[in-house]
Structure 1
Amino acid sequence: MNKTLLLLFHPDLSRSKANAAMAGAAAHLPGVEVVDMVSAYPDGLDIYRDGEREAARLLAADRIVLQFPVQWYSTPPQLKAWQDAVLTRMFYITYEAEGRRLEGTPLMIAATAGNTADAYTVGGRNLFPMADLLAPLRATAHRCGLDWAEPFILYQADKLSPEEAEAAAANYAGTLAHWIARSAKPMA
């Protein structure tokens, strides 16, 4: 098995330029499954009832990508609800059966931001570097024993022309393909 699970957390994918293009490009890569988590759980609450199914989805993957737009210096609420429902279950309630088995799985963050890269610097308009804003996710990965990969960040995502969005999506797919190849487990 060589499966990459990409969980997409965009509050309104129909209005997205970058995340929609990125997810579409990723879906064309061999072994990549893209799941629109907002469509799967439109009210956000069902995810708590489907914790076992979501845990099984993670355990069936060789690597995980969490893709989302940065909103007010954080993740969208659907991603936080997913963490609360699924990771809490796996690492605090059913650790021996689920959490322990997920440890060592590679994790990549793919985030889009509306501002420029310069805005995400010390002293920039947003005051903090993107790495600082993603620190809670990195801490979560560490706590869960997931192998943290260098995040893919796309700046000015809502300002891209269709051609620029397509080029960014191709760059994302190339980055994912390279990461997948590097993190693939040797066949026994």
Structure 2
Amino acid sequence: MSKTLILLFHPDLSRSKANAAMATAAARLPDVEIVDMQSAYPDGIDMFRDGESEAARLLAAGRIVLQFPVQWYSTPPLLKAWQDSVLTRMFYVNYETEGRVLEGTELMVAATAGNVPEAYRPGGRNMFEIEALFAPLRATANRCGLEWSPPFVIYKADKLPPEALRAEADRYADRLAEACR
């Protein structure tokens, strides 16, 4: 069984319901490492200062999960900064020793959205299917030679009652455990 690395990009995990519940459920699984990226990099991430340790973290993983709340149809700013710093370092600066080695690693997006699933479809309130909003991440995975795994999404994330939220978090943990078999 290989290690699953969950990079959690929530701007303030202490105020989160859904992302915190997902992390708690995932933490019960063996061989899962969860990194609260906002706590790790409160002042932002830098290719030269932080790139080596982040590259090492990725290279030690058998699967990478990018977990985040969808914010204005995109990822939180720190996730984009992480891509710019870490993936640029690995795939443009140190391709032979880092990027090439990471190729073939599975990448999964685990996201929370505040609206209902019906809002994420053509003609819906948000115009696009949720997976269309992940197109830049899928393109990045393709460019980096990472194996794209279907995304995991919790809808109505900030409106679910506690028992429904626990059920969704357990569904997340089940999905992570299935992929490890």
| Equivalent position of 1:184 in the other structure | none
Q: Residue 162 of structure 2 corresponds to which residue in structure 1?
A: 162
Q: Deviations over 1:63-89 (max 9, x none)?
A: 100000000000000100000000000
Distance in 1 (CA, whole Å) between partners of 2:51 and 2:94 is: 11
Question: Which runs of no fewer than 5 residues in structure 1 stay unpaired?
Answer: 182-188
Q: Hey, what does 1:53 align to over in structure 2?
A: 53
- Cα distance, 1:131 vs structure 2: 1.2
Deviations 1:33-65 (A, max 9, x none): 000000000111456511000000000011100
Matched with 2:96 is 96
User: How far apart, in 1, do the equivalents of 2:30 and 2:139 lie?
Assistant: 30
Aligned to 1:41: 41
Which amino acid in 2 is paired with 1:38?
Answer: Q
For the Cα contact (< 8 Å) 1:48–1:86, is it kept in 2? no
Tell whether 2:86 aligns with 1:86.
Answer: yes
Instruction: Identify unmatched segments of 5+ residues in structure 2.
Output: none
Partner SS, residue 7 of structure 2: strand
| Corresponding residue for residue 186 of structure 1 | none
**Structure 1 residue 163: deviation in Å?**
1.3
Task: In structure 1, give the amino acid aligned to 2:150.
Answer: E
Is the CA contact (8 Å cut-off) linking 2:103 and 2:146 kept in structure 1?
Answer: yes
In the other structure, the counterpart of 1:185 is: none
For residues 92-142 of structure 1, give each alpha carbon's deviation from its aligned partner in whole angstroms, at most 9, with x where no partner exists: 000001000000001110000000000000000000111110000000000
Q: Which residue of 1 aligns with 2:177?
A: 177
CA distance in 1, matches of 2:61, 2:42: 23
The TM-score, its normalising length taken from structure 1, stands at 0.94
Aligned to 1:14: 14
Q: So what's the TM-score if we normalise by structure 2?
A: 0.97
Q: 2:77 aligns to what?
A: 77
Contact 2:116 2:156 in 1 (8 A): yes
Aligned equivalent of 2:142: 142
CA distance in 2, matches of 1:169, 1:152: 11
Identity of aligned residues (%): 72
In 2 relative to 1, CA 47–14 (structure 1 residues): closer, same or farther, beyond 3 Å?
Answer: farther
Kindly report structure 1 stretches of 4+ aligned residues shifted beyond 6 Å: none
* Contact kept? 2:65, 2:109, Cα under 8 Å: yes
Query: Kindly tell me: are residues 47 and 13 of structure 1, through their superposed partners in 2, closer, same or farther at Cα, counting changes over 3 Å?
Result: farther
Kindly provide the amino acid, as one letter, of the partner of residue 133 in structure 2: L
Alpha-carbon RMSD across the aligned residues, in angstroms, is: 1.0
